[in-house]
Structure 1
Amino acid sequence: MTADGLGFAEAELSHDAFLGGRITLYQPKSGYRAGIDPILLAASVPARRGERVLDLGCGAGPALLALGARVPGLSLTGLERQAAYADLAVRNAAATGIAARIFAADLREMPAELRAESFDHIIANPPYFQAADRTAARDAGREAGRGEEAPLADWVRAGSKRLAPAGRLTMIVRAERLPELLDAMQGLLGSLEVQPLAPRSGRAARLVLVRGRKGGRAEFRLHAPIVLHEGSRHVRDGEDYAPRIRAVLREAAALHFGASDQ
């Protein structure tokens, strides 16, 4: 952090390319760093030009900006409680040339400006681990990105309140937290869908994408897993992503719920 503790010094940052160089992000070298999860989340959102998107807990902006790169003409807004990361999101949006508003605030205490708005899509990649279930990370930013303070129910409640009628909330979480997330969505959202993400063929899903719709009435849908990597195990140096996932990560392709891998 800088001497005033409000941001990152340049020496603490890396400048990393995503989506085959379509976007680049300044990220802390030792804090929370984006992996493929926010990119998969962004790819799964069925947004269209002109729609409004809110990213809860946007961090340095990977999911928000990846979505903006794939679907031009969106109205993008991010909410991030860590001011240093919110500042990075502002910087990354400007450097990438994608317009986005970023608010530094807790999702449980949204600014009045946000509370007066509604959105067609809300996305979230909340911290995966409950604080009681893990050892805290040494870096405060990394800990805040991985260990939750607000329970999943608070994320769902905050998102559902800001959705426009028929708007969608899409989240990515670890598979073991799926029951908790579905329980939080019951009564607030309908047309629930779960898209499991399995590391390899024949392996159990470790991540799930979950979507609900405000006022939705469709039956619950559990889709067949999407397999992230080719082969039953890693056998060579370098990447071994399945072609569908490689297209998402390198070419900004969409990732459709329920679409066949064939």
Structure 2
Amino acid sequence: MADAIVTTEDGFLGGQLRLRQPKSGHRAGHDAILLAAATSAQAGHKVVDLGSGVGTAGLALARRVSGVSLTLVEIDPQLAELARENAAANDITADVVTLDVASSADIFAAAGLPQDSADAVLMNPPFNDPARHRASPNKSREIAHVATEDTLPTWIHAARRLLKSGGVLTLIWRADGLADVLAALERGFGSVAIMPVYGDIAAPAIRVLVRAMKGGRAPAAIEPGIFLRDANGAPDLHIQQVLAGQAALAWASL
């Protein structure tokens, strides 16, 4: 029997979302909220958050867009249970599935996630480069943070299988791994759009938000970037509004 997780309760979206999450190990932050703020969905849409952790990105999206049919997919049973509790505590309806993203189509279908069923998939996969990231003695933390060479192809394959034709995948990844993202999207996806995320105005991008359509045919586009801090080094006002749940990113209304 696994040891109980020591948790904290933290506010997101300016307190609109209260989440319990592990005190140590993988903890939710800006990436999950930016991902949710970049994901387009409408009431009635089937939305799947792959690798949801305690549910941060999916629940933040559901808080912004009422009426979505949300499924949170998480491999760690303890995090999945926290996601289930967080959905209930915030009065958000969500199915929570304890499942490895690498599972077969049959296993996904048995869990209520058949092929060609989702309108939108969002994901924040493990993305640290193992060559530059010291392995953690906490195995769940390592799984949540460290990518292997198969991580992106496996996760994007799962998203492609779940999505309807014309369905949209939105993901966040480290900026220096953009080439790997584009390579993994070559099969089955098009209409790729890239939104760089900069820590400040004078430094290279630290993250990329990427949006791709299953079966899309539009040419790739690099969208205007977003900056966490302005030219004076102060928190960017628009991004502060996004993080506080008072605004969304441009893609959210597509």
What interval of TM-score do these two structures reach, taking the shorter chain for normalisation? over 0.9
The two structures have a TM-score, normalised by structure 2, of 0.92
Whether 1:42 and 2:42 are equivalent positions in the alignment is no
Whether 1:89 and 2:83 are equivalent positions in the alignment is yes
Distance 2:236 2:209 in 1: 18
- Where 1:158 maps in the other structure, the secondary structure is helix
Distance 2:117 2:143 in 1: 26
In the alignment, which residue of structure 2 is the partner of 1:131? 130
In the alignment, which residue of structure 2 is the partner of 1:214? 214
Q: Which 4+ stretches in 1 moved above 4 angstroms?
A: none
In the alignment, which residue of structure 1 is the partner of 2:2? 5
Give the letter for the 1:225 counterpart: G
The two structures have a TM-score, normalised by structure 1, of 0.89
Task: Give a deviation string over 1:218-240, Cα, whole Å, max 9, x none.
Answer: 1110112211112354xxxxxx3
Give the letter for the 1:71 counterpart: V
Distance 1:215 1:252 in 2: 33
Whether 1:156 and 2:150 are equivalent positions in the alignment is no
Distance 2:142 2:153 in 1: 20
CA contact (8 A) 1:39 1:62 kept: yes
Distance 2:245 2:157 in 1: 33
Identity percentage over the alignment? 38
Whether 1:168 and 2:168 are equivalent positions in the alignment is yes
Stretches of structure 2 that go unaligned for 5 or more consecutive residues are none
Q: CA deviation at 1:115?
A: 2.9
Q: CA deviation at 1:132?
A: 3.6
Distance 2:188 2:88 in 1: 35
In the alignment, which residue of structure 1 is the partner of 2:143? 144
Give the letter for the 1:168 counterpart: V
In the alignment, which residue of structure 1 is the partner of 2:230? 230
Q: Compared with structure 1, are the counterparts of its residues 155 and 65 closer, same or farther at alpha carbon in structure 2 (3 Å cutoff)?
A: same
CA contact (8 A) 1:70 1:252 kept: no
Count the aligned residue pairs: 247
- Where 1:107 maps in the other structure, the secondary structure is coil
Distance 1:252 1:69 in 2: 11
Give the letter for the 2:114 counterpart: R
* 1:240-259 correspondence runs (5 A): 240-257=234-251
Q: How big is the alpha-carbon RMSD for the aligned residues of Structure 1 and Structure 2? A: 1.8
In the alignment, which residue of structure 1 is the partner of 2:120? 121
Q: Compared with structure 1, are the counterparts of its residues 232 and 257 closer, same or farther at alpha carbon in structure 2 (3 Å cutoff)?
A: farther
